[in-house]
Amino acid sequence: MITDCHIHSFSKTPAPQNGAYVPPARDIHDYMDEAAPLGVRRAVVVQASVDGTDNSRLVEVLGAEGPVALRGVAMIDADADLPALYAAGIRAARVQDRARLGDSALGQLPDLADRVAEVGWHIELNSEPRSFEQIAALVPDLPEGLRLILDHIGHVDPAAPDPILRLLETGRVWAKLSPTRISTDIGCYGDLTALIEKLGAGFPDRILWGSDWPHVMTPEPVPEIPPMLDLCRAALNTETLRRCMWDNPERLYGF
């Protein structure tokens, strides 16, 4: 059984957007139709950057019925009602820290961590190696037990994995094995095998997998889920694969 820890869901009737991309008209039911036959039984819907801190669509999506159980990751502002979002199935807040997106909220991380720790959430970081030293310096002062999750394997260069390995060695950081943003071999992912092997061997209790469906801001051809699962099955031993796909997500998101 499989948990997909990183998907997005959009409207079937697209509206004008002010974000960095125009989202595809693909919703949670499209995802379930595609993923459930592959053995996906749980998924985490991550608030898309085009929706900003308005989590109303995310909350609506989490109420959808179907063969895949859902949890959510929100982007929040100072007025966010965290207990209400928790009741809706949201278990984390997301922080954008990408140079290409022109923004970084790492300076807000300590205060955000204090807020979300009160409802038992973790924080998911869409970050990259240029920020890893800053993140490592912040880790010791974060609330006890709070976890940081790196989206998209930290956008690390798979040929130079030392920065992400050092960050995970802090003991408080996890990695989400979503391959499509860093691989140059979409559909095969052979350039990521060694990196996934190292992460699995060194941190079997702190890795997750996510498809990044429906693959916005990703060049054609649109990635498919089965080759990503094949990568994980080839790079991780049986026990570590089970932890990555099922046990670790259960601990983190409270399925």
What pTM was estimated for this model as a whole? 0.94
Q: If you ran DSSP here, which 8-state letter would residue 130 be given?
A: G
Query: Which amino acid, residue 24?
Result: P
Residues 6+ apart with CB under 8 A from 203: 168, 174, 175
CA distances to 107, 130, 158, 235, 244 from 95, rounded to whole Å, are 10, 15, 23, 29, 22
Supply the pLDDT for residue 36.
98
pLDDT, tens only, 206-238 = 999 999 999 987 777 889 999 999 999 999 999
Domain map (residue ranges) of the chain: 2-253
Task: Note the pLDDT of residue 22.
Answer: 75
Q: What is the pLDDT of residue 23?
A: 75
Mean pLDDT calculated for residue range 55-59: 94
The reported pLDDT for the residue numbered 52 is 87
- Within 13 Å of residue 121, how many CA atoms lie on the same side as its CB? 27
Nearest-5° angle of CA 171, CA 175, CA 179? Answer: 160
CATH number for the domain formed by residue range(s) 2-253:
3.20.20.140
Q: To the nearest whole percent, how much of the chain has pLDDT over 70?
A: 95
> In the predicted model, is pLDDT for residue 154 greater than 70?
yes
